[in-house]
Amino acid sequence: MPGTKKVFVKTFGCQMNVYDSERITESLMSYGYTPTEQPDEAEVIILNTCHIREKAAEKVYSELGRYRQIKDERRDQGLLTTVTVAGCVAQAEGAEIMARSPVVDLVIGPQSYHRLAEMVFRAQSESRRLVDTNFPEVDKFQTLPKRSPEAPPLPGQIRSASAFLTVQEGCDKFCTFCVVPYTRGMEYSRPVDQLVAEAQELVDRGVREITLLGQNVNAYHGEGSDGKPWSLARLIDAIAELPGLDRVRYTTSHPKDMSDDLIAAHRNQPKLMPYLHLPFQAGSDRILGAMNRKHTVDEYRRLIDKIRAARSDIALSTDIIVGFPGETAAEFAETLKLVEDIGFAQAFSFKYSARPGTPAAKIVDQIPEEEKAQRLALLQNLLSTQTSRFNEGCVGRVIPVLFERPGRNDGQIVGRSPYLQPVHASGMLDQLGQIFPVEISHAGPNSLLGVIRAA
């Protein structure tokens, strides 16, 4: 019977995986499946995996252990379960997963999601284990079903006023630490018309904020309506024109591709939010060179000056790796210095993790784990001071907040400021999905508290 079969999707990793999981879920919904948050009631279990750091892949195998138990229990009740591993671990280690985990029926890479539903059905009907990790010629985005009129209730997903939209995928930059060029393939930009149409479908289902996604989103160069390549700034303007859409964001950017028109958009495009995630990875020129980052510390500093000149209140965010092979204590101190000088509202910092197949994994001078942990603790201490300082700077101000979900306390709702901080306020559920001015009364380490003022 249509509508009674259930699909469970679990997502690890970045926002692009969240977007992909949404598309995967919707493609099964188009065959009559209903999303569920309970894997034990699902005919189809999909694990969308991430390969960026070591722990991520370990999590996949422990999760698969759980599914083996569920599959066995369901089999005892005469119920069929098909387990799929999708995402970047699937792409990188497809054969290994098949060998190590007999519970898995299908392994499918991120470029084949337009075939995922069909492959699941084939695995079911033919009782065969299948692997699809090719990089196909056809455009998966063209072939995937249209966005459904309602957001699928994905496990853990509550921000339905806000949606992700992948505009660019893959990367040709080949930073020496990174698996992305191998798991997501070469850089590809979706055409503008396709993206504006999808953005419209999202707005039609009540989305007020869209975050444009790409591993290298500011390298976007998709075909515009005039047949010529358009920059990210032009795409942002085209999407910002949609009535009913209030906010546009984009992530993740590379310093090399931070073009003048994109910087100018932060001055000129009122719907573009004052937030920029711009990873610098390391504060020493020698390490940046070894990482193949293609920019110097000084170039990064000058770029930040230009961005702040365009939009003085912009909230800056970054990614930093500590303990890249050969990084000395003095070079790490340069990372701290750069953080101190710039001042970030938000940051993500990681211990370097050797990824199979990447050039940096072959460097002999790997940093001991304890040393990496010490550096990370020092850095995170500094970063959390900066986040608190940024948050405290908001106290007393009235800030527009897009409310997205109920809070943990009764009578509270939670939304996001333009600077992406979670903001809690007393409010009613019917205020969700709308923007209200909020007077900020308190700042915590990771969120703000305030009072809704009449709009």
Q: Which residue is nearest to ligand 5AD (CB)?
A: 319
Nearest to 235 by CA among 278, 273, 274, 272: 272
On whether the CB atoms of residues 375 and 339 are closer than 8 A, the answer is: no
Give the torsion sign (CA, 386, 391, 395, 400): positive
Site track for ligand 5AD across 169-188, x = CB under 6 A: --------xx----------
CA dihedral 29, 66, 350, 447 (to 10 degrees): 60
Query: Residue 271 in 3-state DSSP?
Result: coil
Using the minimum distance from each CB to ligand 5AD, give the nearer residue, 15 or 200: 15
Numbers of helices and strands, H then E, in the chain: 13, 19
Bridge partner list, 442: 449
- Closer CB to ligand SF4, residue 31 or residue 182? 182
Maximum distance among all Cα pairs of the chain, rounded to whole angstroms: 65
Residue placing its CB nearer to ligand SF4 in the complex, 50 or 272: 50
Task: Answer yes or no whether residue 14 interacts with ligand SF4 by CB under 6 A.
Answer: yes
Q: Is 427 in the site for ligand SF4 (CB under 6 A)?
A: no
Residue 114 sits in the site that holds ligand 5AD (CB under 6 A): no
What is the DSSP pairing of strand 188-189 with strand 168-169? antiparallel
Q: Residue 275 interacts with ligand 5AD (CB under 6 A)?
A: no
Q: What are the distances in angstroms from CA 286 to CA 174, 268, 291, 373?
A: 17, 36, 9, 21
Among 159, 254, 293, 355, the residue binding ligand 5AD under the rule CB under 6 A is 355
Q: Cβ of 407: how many Cβ atoms within 10 Å?
A: 16
Contact flag: residue 166 with ligand SF4 (CB under 6 A): no
Per CB under 6 A, the list member of 18, 108, 180, 236 interacting with ligand SF4 is 180
Q: Give the shortest CB-52-to-ligand SF4 separation in angstroms.
A: 4
Residue 219 binds to ligand SF4 (criterion: CB under 6 A):
no
Choosing from 18, 29, 45, 52, the residue that interacts with ligand 5AD (CB under 6 A) is 52
> In the complex, which residues of this chain contact ligand SF4 (CB under 6 A)?
13-14, 16-17, 50-52, 87-88, 179-180, 183-184, 215
> In the complex, which residues of this chain contact ligand 5AD (CB under 6 A)?
52-53, 177-178, 279, 281, 319, 321, 350, 352-353, 355
